């Protein structure tokens, strides 16, 4: 068996690449523990390898928790609804997958009552131009964003909570030109607004994170809406700054895992419809006991329960 090596990025140990693991062949609990420890330390990790299929991705992902079935109900992979296809390829006149996923800064699954654990994205095809990969995924560290917040902002927002809602990002994508259908009442009922701390205590590491994002955070509870809007706009601009960046340049066969408590991310695009980008994704749900224990007395709640 090859030796497992972990190579951190050169920026604050945010982001790392792991070699020596064959996800397609399956992993044991010990290897899963190595991966999870690296995730807790680096927040974004990439396991090098070769392309594998949706069943292998699901088997791998379940080492880290239960899996989400995405509320969009589109571009699931056949009989495996836990897997979503992200693709700009058109086959027999139909899109193979979601062509516009993630093009707003966001945190996956912050629209759930319990925040998500991780997202896992595996590259089957990567577009290239002049020998350089296109379609990087950009990440920002919410550990660093919290740690570097001005003191007066920290004091102002300590103990505050914010509303997160899936419909906000859906609407933003339509406004940017997405051909996705209008958000439905059924989706709205399945994913009602939820409340999370503005400063989240990470359920697995105990570190503080700034936990708002442009894609999904609607307003801060307990302050006037206009003041909330101005403050959130400042926070969004601040946390998206390049000083908190890890940017992943994709290789075919990469499996990138990111921590949905400690990061925000955005797809950078930059490729055309004839430059194919095809990936499969799972999303790992959070753990309610860990979340509520770490963030007591703030809890995982629906907005209608907050007052």
Handedness of CA 149, 150, 154, 156 (dihedral sign): negative
pLDDT of 275 over the 70 cut: yes
What is the domain range of residue 231? 69-305
Across 52-64, average pLDDT: 98
| Dist. CA 270–CA 36, nearest whole Å | 31
Supply the pLDDT for residue 166. Answer: 86
**Do 83 and 281 touch, CB atoms closer than 8 A?**
yes
In this structure, the strands spanning 16-19 and 5-8 are antiparallel
Across 267-292, average pLDDT: 94
Residue 307's pLDDT band (cuts 50, 70, 90): very low
**Before 297, cis peptide (omega within 30)?**
yes
Q: Does some domain include residue 55? A: no
Residue 234: CATH number of its domain = 3.60.130.10
Per the structure, the count of domains in the chain is 1
Q: Does some domain include residue 25? A: no
| Dist. CA 108–CA 60, nearest whole Å | 19
The share of the chain scoring above pLDDT 70, in percent, equals 92
The distance of Cα 21 from the centroid of its chain, to the nearest Å, equals: 22
Three-class secondary structure of residue 222 per DSSP: coil
**Do 125 and 252 touch, CB atoms closer than 8 A?**
yes
Q: Does some domain include residue 113? A: yes
**Do 263 and 272 touch, CB atoms closer than 8 A?**
no
Supply the pLDDT for residue 119. Answer: 98
Supply the pLDDT for residue 159. Answer: 95
pLDDT, one tens digit per residue, over 123-153 is 999 999 999 999 999 999 999 999 999 999 9
pLDDT, one tens digit per residue, over 75-123 is 777 789 999 999 999 888 888 877 777 778 999 999 999 999 999 999 9
Which residue pairs from 8-14 have beta carbons closer than 8 angstroms and sit at least 24 positions apart in sequence?
8/42, 9/42, 9/246, 11/245, 11/246, 12/141, 12/144, 13/41, 13/42, 14/42, 14/43, 14/44, 14/139, 14/141, 14/144, 14/244, 14/246
Q: Does some domain include residue 207? A: yes
Q: Does some domain include residue 239? A: yes
Q: Does some domain include residue 37? A: no
**Do 141 and 251 touch, CB atoms closer than 8 A?**
no
pLDDT, one tens digit per residue, over 29-49 is 999 999 999 999 999 999 999
Which has the higher per-residue pLDDT, 50 or 272? 50
| Dist. CA 27–CA 229, nearest whole Å | 45
pLDDT of 172 over the 70 cut: no
| Dist. CA 110–CA 96, nearest whole Å | 26
For residue 266, how many other CB atoms are within 10 A of its CB? 19
Supply the pLDDT for residue 304. Answer: 60
Mean pLDDT for the chain overall: 90
pLDDT of 57 over the 70 cut: yes
pLDDT of 244 over the 60 cut: yes
Q: Does some domain include residue 10? A: no
pLDDT of 174 over the 70 cut: no
Give which of 62, 7, 68, 1 is closest to 32, Cα–Cα. Answer: 62
Supply the pLDDT for residue 143. Answer: 97
For residue 158, give both structure tokens. Answer: 């300590």
Q: What is the pTM of this model?
A: 0.93
Supply the pLDDT for residue 196. Answer: 96
Residue 245's pLDDT band (cuts 50, 70, 90): very high
Supply the pLDDT for residue 164. Answer: 95
CA angle 28, 31, 34 (to 5 degrees): 155
Supply the pLDDT for residue 181. Answer: 67
Across 185-201, average pLDDT: 86
pLDDT of 300 over the 90 cut: no
Q: Does some domain include residue 149? A: yes
């Amino acid at each position: 068996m090859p030796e497992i090596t972990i190579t951190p990025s050169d920026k604050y140990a945010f982001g790392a690449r792991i070699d020596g693991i064959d996800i397609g062949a399956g992993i044991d609990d010990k290897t899963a523990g190595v991966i999870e420890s690296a995730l807790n330390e680096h927040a974004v990790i990439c396991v090098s390898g070769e392309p594998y299929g949706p069943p292998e991705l699901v088997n791998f992902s379940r080492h880290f928790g239960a899996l989400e079935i995405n509320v969009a109900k589109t571009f699931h992979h056949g009989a495996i609804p836990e897997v979503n296809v992200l693709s700009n390829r058109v086959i027999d006149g139909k899109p193979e997958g979601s062509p516009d996923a993630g093009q707003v800064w966001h945190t996956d699954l912050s629209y759930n009552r319990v925040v998500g654990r991780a997202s896992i994205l595996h590259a089957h095809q990567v577009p290239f131009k002049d020998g350089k990969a296109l379609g990087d995924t950009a990440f920002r560290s919410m550990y660093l964003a919290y740690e570097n917040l001005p003191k007066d902002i920290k004091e102002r927002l300590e103990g505050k909570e914010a509303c997160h809602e899936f419909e906000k990002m859906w609407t933003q994508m339509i406004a940017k030109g997405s051909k996705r259908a209008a958000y439905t009442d059924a989706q709205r009922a399945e994913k009602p607004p939820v409340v999370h701390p503005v400063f989240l205590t990470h359920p697995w590491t105990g570190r503080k994170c700034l936990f708002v994002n442009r894609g999904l955070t609607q307003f801060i509870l307990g302050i006037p809406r206009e003041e909330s809007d101005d403050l959130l706009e400042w926070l969004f601009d601040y946390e998206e700054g390049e000083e908190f960046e890890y940017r992943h340049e994709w290789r075919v066969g990469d499996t990138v895992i990111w921590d949905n408590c400690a990061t925000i991310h955005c797809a950078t695009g930059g490729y055309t419809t004839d430059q194919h980008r095809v990936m499969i994704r799972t999303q790992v749900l959070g753990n309610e006991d860990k979340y509520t224990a770490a963030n007591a007395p703030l809890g995982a709640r629906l907005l209608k329960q907050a007052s």
